[in-house]
C-alpha cells in the first residue's frame, strides 16, 4: 500500500506571524495561473486582523479522503513525494473531491472550470519565499525520518525512563547514527537509570556498554579506545553522560581526556541537574531554578529561598578552550542541526577529542507536561537562553541557528514549573544573563573567525 | 473448500475502502475480493463520462492488479455471489463453488430498477450501471437521432446531456413534478431544466410511460396523456435497487437494503454490509435510510473494514448525510444535507438571475446548518458537511455566511478542526 511508509516535506504555517498581506496568494496565482487573481490561488489565507489569520491549503493527507471519493482515479497519493497528484486527463469535473475534503484543500478554480490543489510546486513552493514575514516555511526534516528509520535501533525497546523523556529520544537517535561498531560508556545518571546498562545480567543496548564511575568516565573510555587501537580494531568510543557527571565530579577526567586529545566522542545530556537521583542542583543548573537542593520557601537568616542563587557553568565554552577537534551545542528540537553535528563529531572523534553538548529538557525535574518536551527545547533556543553553535580549530566558533529576533526569556521560563516562583528581579537577572551570554559567544565567534 | 479470513464481495468504493481498512490493521490475514464484474475495480459514478467519451474505458480503474498483489488480496473477477449460508459461514458462488469465510462484507452495490411498464420486455433498451453498459451506450449514442431517457435522476440527466452534445434529439420523461427530484430543489431543478431546453432537449416532467412497443426505428412509447414518442435509443434510468438476492432463505434482516448497525454489522454474526446495498442510520432520521451515494459508500466501507479487522480506532457511523454534486453544460450544482426545514427552523434563499447563481441554506431553530444547496455558487462541500455533522452554532456569523458561504466556512474550519 505504501501507506505510512515515509515522511514528507511540508509547507508549515505560523499563524502568529501572518498579517494577511496575501503575497503568498499572489505568488501562487502567478505561478499556477499566470494571473494575480488571489481567488485562484491554491493557498487561501482566511480570517481577519481581529480574529487572526488562518490557512486553507491541501494538507497532502496520508490517508486522503479526496482520493477515496474520486470516481475517475484522477487523484492519487504519490508515495514518493507525498503530494496528492491531480491528473487533468482523467478528471471529469464532478467536484466530489471538494465534498470529500473537510479542509477546503481542493476547490473549483473558476478560471478553468476544473478543481485545483497545491502540488508544492514540485518541491519548491512559490508561496514560501513570497511571504515577507516567514509565516510560511517549507519543512524538509522528513529526510531524517526516512533515512534514520532504516537504521537499526540499538537501544532496548522497553526502558525505565520517565514518560516523555527527551533523553530516550537522544539515546535512540545517537546510537542509530553511530551504529553497531561502537563501545558505549554511561556513567551514573539518567542514561543507565533508564536501562542502558540493563537488568539482571543483560544490557539495555545492542552494543557493548559499561558503567564507569562518575569521576572516571572519560579516562576509562580513553583506555578502552586505546586498547582497541592496539589490537587493530576500528570502533567508535562514545560516552553519554549527564551534566552533573561531566561538569562536576567528572570534570577532571573529561578535561584530561580533552587535553590529551583522546579519540573519543563525549556527549553530555544537559538536563541541568542530577535528575536521576532526585533532582539535585548541578553546576549546570541555571540561576533561579528550583531543585530539591535549591528549594523555594522561607529560607533562613531572613534570606528567603528562591531557587538556585548562582549562574550556570558554561561547560561547552570551557571545552572550546581545550581546543578540541570539535565542540558543538545541540537541541532535539532542531534535529537537522543535531544530525549535522553528530556526523561531524563522529568524524572528528576518529582524529581526536569531540564534544557534543545537548540541551535536554526534563519533564520530571523541570515540571512541564510530558508532551511539551519539544516545545520547551524550542523555546530555549528561540529566546537565546540556549545557543546552537559549533567549533573546530580551522573555522573557529560559529552559530548554526542564529536567532536574530529572540523572544523574551519569560516565554521560556513560563513553559515550566521550576521557574514559577521567580520574582521580577530574578527574571531581569536571567534576561540580562541571556544578553551577556549571547554577547560573549558572539565575541568568541567574531574573534575566532577573524 | 476454499477458505479465507476476510471475504469482501463487490469491487467499488465501499469494498475498496474496506480492503484498505482491513490491511491497515491486519496486514497478513487472508483476504479475498469477489466481484461479478469481469473488469478491474471502477466507480459507477464515472460511467456517464465513459458514455460521453470523456473518460477512456481503460483509464477509469481505481486499482490495478499490482495493488491486489502488493496487499496480498486474492481477486476473483467475473464471479457472482449466488447465495449465502451464514449458518456455516460459507458463500456459494455462481459457478457452484463455495468459499468459507471468517468475516464477510457485502458491498454488492445496486442494479438498475426496471419499472413494470407493459411491453418493456418486448423492446430493447439501455441501462447504465456497469462498464459494459457504458461501452454499449457509448457506441449507441453516436448513431442516435432521437433518444428517450426514462428517469431524470443524475444518471439519466448525464446521459441526456451527452446525447444532446452528439446532436441527437432528446426527450427526458420523468414521473416526478421536477427533474433531479431528491437531489436538488425546484429552483435548482428549474435552472437545470432551462440549460437542457436551451440546448434543444425536451423535458417531460410529471409524465408516466404506460406502454412500450417495438417500432421500425426502435421503440414507441405511449404516455399517460395518450401522446406517443418514437425513440431509436431508449435509456431506462429510473433508479436502482440493492443487490441482495443472495440473501434468499437467510435470516439477514433487510428492508429496502441490508439493515446494518452503526458499525455496519448485519443482524447475523460475521457478516457486514456497506455501500449502495446497505441501509444504515441517517444523520437526519431515526430510522435507517438508503443513502446510495459515493461518499457514504467510502465511509461505510472504511467502518466495516475496521470493524471486521478489530481495529480499536473504530468510530461508529455518524449517519448518512446526503451529498451530491452535478455538472451540467459547464455549470455546477452542489447539495449538502437535508432539504427538509426542521421544526422552528428557517430556509433562506438568494438568486441572482443575471449570473444564474442560486443559494439555499437551511438552518435549525438553534442556528445550526442542516442543508445547503448551490447552483453556480461554489462552496467547499466537505467543509459544509462538517458544519452539519458537528452542529456548529452559526448565530454569530449567519448573515456573513449567507453572503459568502465559502469564505466563512473556511474561516470556521480553520478555527475548529484544522
pLDDT digits 0-9 by tens, A212-240? 999 999 999 999 999 999 999 999 999 99
* Chain A neighbors of B302, CB-CB under 8 A: 68
Contact A108 B70 (CB under 8 A): no
pLDDT tens track for B388-397: 999 999 999 9
The count of C-alpha atoms lying within 13 angstroms of the C-alpha of A405, restricted to the half-sphere facing its C-beta, is 3
- Residues 6 or more apart from A216 whose CB is under 8 A from it? A250, A253
Q: Calculate mean pLDDT across residues A373-389.
A: 97
Please check the confidence at residue A449 and state whether its pLDDT lies above 70: no
Strand partners, B223: B209
CB-based contact (8 Å) between B15 and chain A?
A: no
CB-based contact (8 Å) between B334 and chain A?
A: yes
Please check the confidence at residue A450 and state whether its pLDDT lies above 50: no
CB count within 10 Å of CB B395 equals: 9
The three grid cell numbers given for residue A112, joined into one nine-digit string? 478553468
User: Which one of B16, B332, B410 has the shortest CB-CB distance to A56?
Assistant: B410
- Residues 6 or more apart from B411 whose CB is under 8 A from it? A46, A47, A51, A54, B397
Q: Calculate mean pLDDT across residues B209-225.
A: 96
Length of chain A in terms of residues written: 450
Model ipTM value: 0.95
Rounded to a whole number of angstroms, the distance from the CA of B298 to the nearest CA of chain A is: 7
Q: Calculate mean pLDDT across residues A250-277.
A: 97
pLDDT of A447: 64
CB-based contact (8 Å) between B382 and chain A?
A: yes
Please check the confidence at residue B199 and state whether its pLDDT lies above 50: yes
**Could you report how far apart the first and last alpha carbons of chain A are, in Å?**
55
CB-based contact (8 Å) between B372 and chain A?
A: no
Please check the confidence at residue B160 and state whether its pLDDT lies above 90: yes
The three grid cell numbers given for residue B115, joined into one nine-digit string? 419499472
**Gap between the Cα atoms of A347 and B134, Å rounded:** 65
Q: Given phi > 0 = left and psi -120 to 50 = alpha, else beta, which region is A57?
A: beta
* Chain B neighbors of A64, CB-CB under 8 A: none
The three grid cell numbers given for residue A151, joined into one nine-digit string? 537504521
In angstroms, the Cα distances linking B160 to A327, B165, B201, B329, B332 are 75, 9, 8, 11, 16
CB-based contact (8 Å) between B410 and chain A?
A: yes
Q: Calculate mean pLDDT across residues B80-97.
A: 95
pLDDT of A142: 84
Contact B55 A92 (CB under 8 A): yes
User: Which one of B55, B295, B327 has the shortest CB-CB distance to A100?
Assistant: B295
User: Which one of B382, B414, B417 has the shortest CB-CB distance to A100?
Assistant: B382
Reported confidence tier of residue A201, pLDDT bands at 50, 70, 90? confident
Low-confidence winner among A138-152, A172-186, B70-84 (lowest mean pLDDT): A138-152
CB-based contact (8 Å) between B413 and chain A?
A: yes
User: Which one of A3, A54, A68 has the shortest CB-CB distance to B298?
Assistant: A68
Q: What is the Cα Rg of chain B in Å?
A: 23
Give which of B371, B352, B368 is closest to B360, Cα–Cα.
B371
* Chain A neighbors of B414, CB-CB under 8 A: 46-47, 54-56
CB count within 10 Å of CB A173 equals: 21
pLDDT of B249: 78
In angstroms, the Cα distances linking B83 to A206, A272, B97, B379 are 56, 71, 11, 44
> What's the pTM?
0.80
Contact A98 B415 (CB under 8 A): no
Low-confidence winner among A309-313, B182-186, B343-347 (lowest mean pLDDT): B182-186
- In chain A, whose CA is at the least distance from the CA of B335? A99
User: Which one of A3, A90, A102 has the shortest CB-CB distance to B382?
Assistant: A102
- In chain A, whose CA is at the least distance from the CA of B301? A68
**Gap between the Cα atoms of A41 and A54, Å rounded:** 15
pLDDT of A49: 87
Please check the confidence at residue A259 and state whether its pLDDT lies above 80: yes
- Residues 6 or more apart from A133 whose CB is under 8 A from it? A17, A18, A19, A21
Q: Calculate mean pLDDT across residues A398-410.
A: 94
Contact A44 B23 (CB under 8 A): no
* Chain B neighbors of A113, CB-CB under 8 A: 330
Q: Find the chain A residues whose C-beta atoms sit closer than 8 A to any C-beta of B.
A: 1, 3, 44, 46-47, 51, 54-56, 65, 68-69, 71-73, 89-90, 92-96, 98-104, 107-108, 110, 113
Q: Calculate mean pLDDT across residues A365-381.
A: 96
Q: Calculate mean pLDDT across residues A272-299.
A: 95
pLDDT tens track for B288-339: 999 999 999 999 999 999 999 999 999 999 999 999 999 999 899 999 999 8
Strands B346-352 and B357-363, how do they pair? antiparallel
Please check the confidence at residue B37 and state whether its pLDDT lies above 50: yes
Contact B380 A89 (CB under 8 A): no
The three grid cell numbers given for residue A330, joined into one nine-digit string? 545541540
pLDDT of A69: 97
Strands B233-236 and B146-150, how do they pair? parallel
User: Which one of A46, A73, A98 has the shortest CB-CB distance to B381?
Assistant: A98
Please check the confidence at residue B418 and state whether its pLDDT lies above 80: no
pLDDT of A3: 52
CB-based contact (8 Å) between B376 and chain A?
A: no
Q: Calculate mean pLDDT across residues B126-138.
A: 96
Residue ranges of E strands in B27-97: 31-34, 73-76, 81-85, 90-93
Give which of B162, B177, B217, B212 is closest to B328, Cα–Cα.
B162
| H/E run at residue B382 | helix B381-389
CB count within 10 Å of CB A405 equals: 6
* Chain A neighbors of B53, CB-CB under 8 A: none
Q: Which residue has the cell 574573534?
A: A447
Please check the confidence at residue B409 and state whether its pLDDT lies above 50: yes
Contact B325 A95 (CB under 8 A): yes
Q: In the predicted model, what is the mean pLDDT of chain B?
A: 95
Rounded to a whole number of angstroms, the distance from the CA of B44 to the nearest CA of chain A is: 8
Strands B346-352 and A303-306, how do they pair? unpaired
Contact A72 B55 (CB under 8 A): yes
Rounded to a whole number of angstroms, the distance from the CA of A336 to the nearest CA of chain B is: 27
- A130-149 as b/e, with b when 16 or more CB fall inside 10 Å? bbeeebbebeeeeebeeebe
User: Which one of B61, B323, B380 has the shortest CB-CB distance to A104?
Assistant: B380
A-B contacts (CB, under 8 Å): 123
* Chain A neighbors of B31, CB-CB under 8 A: none
Residue of B410, B415, B416, B417 to mutate, testing the A interface (most A Cβ within 10 Å of its Cβ): B410
Contact A72 B60 (CB under 8 A): yes
* Chain B neighbors of A98, CB-CB under 8 A: 325, 334, 378, 380-382
Amino acid at each position: 500500500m505504501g501507506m505510512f511508509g515515509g515522511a514528507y516535506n511540508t509547507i508549515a504555517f505560523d499563524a502568529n506571524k501572518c498579517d494577511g498581506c496575501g503575497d503568498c496568494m499572489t505568488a501562487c496565482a502567478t505561478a499556477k495561473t499566470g494571473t494575480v487573481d488571489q481567488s485562484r490561488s491554491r493557498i487561501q489565507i482566511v480570517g481577519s486582523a481581529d480574529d487572526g489569520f488562518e490557512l486553507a491549503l491541501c494538507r497532502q493527507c496520508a490517508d486522503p479522503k479526496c482520493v477515496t471519493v474520486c470516481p475517475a482515479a484522477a487523484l492519487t497519493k504519490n508515495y514518493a513525494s507525498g503530494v496528492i497528484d491531480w491528473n487533468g486527463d482523467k478528471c471529469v469535473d464532478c467536484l466530489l473531491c471538494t465534498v470529500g475534503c473537510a479542509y477546503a484543500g481542493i476547490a473549483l478554480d473558476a478560471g478553468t472550470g476544473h478543481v485545483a490543489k497545491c502540488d508544492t510546486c514540485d518541491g519548491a513552493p512559490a508561496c514560501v519565499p513570497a511571504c515577507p514575514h516567514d509565516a510560511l516555511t517549507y519543512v524538509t526534516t522528513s529526510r531524517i525520518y526516512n533515512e534514520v528509520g532504516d537504521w537499526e535501533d540499538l537501544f532496548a525497546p522497553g526502558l525505565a525512563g520517565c514518560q516523555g523523556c527527551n533523553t530516550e529520544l537522544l539515546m535512540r537517535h545517537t546510537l542509530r547514527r553511530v551504529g553497531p561498531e561502537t563501545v558505549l560508556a554511561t556513567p551514573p545518571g539518567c542514561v543507565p537509570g533508564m536501562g542502558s546498562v540493563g537488568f539482571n545480567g543483560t544490557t539495555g543496548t545492542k552494543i557493548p556498554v559499561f558503567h564507569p564511575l562518575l569521576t572516571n568516565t572519560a579516562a576509562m573510555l580513553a583506555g578502552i579506545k586505546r586498547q582497541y587501537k592496539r589490537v587493530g580494531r576500528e570502533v567508535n568510543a562514545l560516552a553519554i553522560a549527564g551534566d552533573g557527571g561531566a561538569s562536576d565530579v567528572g570534570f577532571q577526567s573529561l578535561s584530561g581526556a580533552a587535553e590529551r586529545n583522546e579519540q573519543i566522542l563525549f556527549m553530555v545530556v544537559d538536563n541541568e541537574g542530577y535528575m536521576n537521583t532526585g533532582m539535585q542542583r548541578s553546576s549546570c543548573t541555571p540561576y533561579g531554578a528550583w531543585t530539591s537542593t535549591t528549594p523555594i520557601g522561607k529560607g533562613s537568616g531572613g534570606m528567603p529561598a528562591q531557587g538556585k542563587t548562582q549562574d550556570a557553568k558554561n561547560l561547552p565554552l570551557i571545552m572550546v578552550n581545550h581546543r578540541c577537534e570539535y565542540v558543538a551545542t545541540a537541541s532535539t528540537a532542531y534535529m537537522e542541526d543535531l544530525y549535522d553535528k553528530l556526523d561531524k563529531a563522529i568524524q572528528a572523534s576518529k582524529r581526536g577529542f569531540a564534544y557534543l553538548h545537548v540541551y535536554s529538557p526534563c519533564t520530571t525535574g523541570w515540571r512541564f507536561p510530558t508532551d511539551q518536551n519539544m516545545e520547551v527545547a524550542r523555546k530555549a533556543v528561540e529566546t537565546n537562553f540556549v545557543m546552537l553553535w559549533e567549533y573546530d580549530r580551522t573555522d573557529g566558533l560559529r552559530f548554526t541557528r542564529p536567532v536574530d529576533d529572540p523572544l523574551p526569556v519569560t516565554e521560556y521560563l513560563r513553559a515550566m514549573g521550576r521557574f514559577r516562583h521567580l520574582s521580577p528581579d530574578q527574571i531581569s537577572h536571567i534576561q540580562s544573563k541571556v544578553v551577556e551570554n549571547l554577547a560573549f559567544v558572539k565575541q568568541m565567534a567574531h574573534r575566532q573567525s577573524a | 473448500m476454499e477458505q479465507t479470513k476476510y471475504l469482501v464481495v463487490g469491487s467499488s468504493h465501499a469494498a475498496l475502502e474496506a480492503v484498505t481498512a482491513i490491511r491497515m490493521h491486519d496486514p497478513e490475514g487472508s483476504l479475498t475480493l469477489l466481484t461479478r464484474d469481469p473488469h478491474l475495480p471502477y466507480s459507477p459514478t464515472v460511467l456517464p463520462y465513459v458514455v460521453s467519451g470523456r473518460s477512456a474505458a481503460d483509464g477509469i480503474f481505481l486499482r490495478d492488479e499490482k495493488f491486489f498483489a502488493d496487499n496480498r488480496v486474492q481477486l476473483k473477477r467475473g464471479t457472482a455471489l449466488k447465495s449465502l449460508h451464514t449458518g456455516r459461514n460459507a458463500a456459494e458462488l455462481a459457478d457452484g463453488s463455495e468459499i468459507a469465510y471468517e468475516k464477510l462484507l457485502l458491498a454488492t452495490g445496486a442494479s438498475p430498477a426496471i419499472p413494470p411498464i407493459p411491453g418493456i420486455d418486448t423492446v430493447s433498451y439501455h441501462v447504465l450501471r456497469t462498464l459494459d453498459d457504458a461501452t454499449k451506450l457509448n457506441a449507441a449514442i453516436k448513431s442516435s437521432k432521437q433518444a428517450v431517457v426514462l428517469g431524470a435522476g443524475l444518471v439519466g440527466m448525464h446521459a441526456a446531456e451527452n446525447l444532446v452534445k452528439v446532436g441527437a434529439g432528446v426527450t427526458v420523461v420523468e414521473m416526478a413534478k421536477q427533474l433531479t427530484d431528491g437531489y436538488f430543489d425546484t429552483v435548482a431543478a428549474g435552472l437545470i431544466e432551462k440549460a437542457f431546453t436551451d440546448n434543444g432537449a425536451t423535458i417531460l416532467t410529471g409524465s408516466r410511460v404506460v406502454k412500450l412497443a417495438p417500432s421500425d426505428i426502435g421503440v414507441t412509447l405511449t404516455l399517460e396523456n395518450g401522446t406517443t414518442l418514437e425513440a431509436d435509443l431508449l435509456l431506462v434510468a429510473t433508479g436502482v435497487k440493492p443487490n441482495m438476492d443472495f440473501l434468499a432463505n437467510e435470516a439477514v434482516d433487510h428492508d429496502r437494503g441490508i439493515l446494518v448497525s452503526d458499525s455496519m454489522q448485519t443482524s447475523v454474526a460475521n457478516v457486514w454490509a456497506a455501500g449502495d446495498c446497505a441501509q444504515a442510520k441517517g444523520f437526519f432520521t431515526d430510522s435507517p435510510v438508503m443513502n446510495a451515494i459515493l461518499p457514504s459508500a467510502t465511509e461505510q466501507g472504511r467502518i466495516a473494514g475496521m470493524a471486521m479487522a478489530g481495529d480499536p480506532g473504530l468510530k461508529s457511523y455518524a449517519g448518512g448525510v446526503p451529498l451530491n454534486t452535478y455538472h451540467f453544460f459547464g455549470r455546477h450544482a452542489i447539495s449538502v444535507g437535508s432539504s427538509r426545514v426542521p421544526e422552528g427552523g428557517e430556509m433562506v434563499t438568494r438568486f441572482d438571475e443575471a449570473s444564474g447563481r442560486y443559494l439555499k441554506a437551511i438552518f435549525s431553530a438553534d442556528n445550526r446548518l442542516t442543508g445547503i444547496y448551490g447552483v453556480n455558487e461554489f462552496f467547499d462541500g466537505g467543509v459544509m458537511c462538517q458544519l452539519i455533522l458537528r452542529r456548529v452554532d452559526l448565530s454569530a456569523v449567519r448573515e456573513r455566511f449567507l453572503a459568502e458561504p465559502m469564505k466563512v466556512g473556511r474561516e470556521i474550519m480553520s478555527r475548529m478542526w484544522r
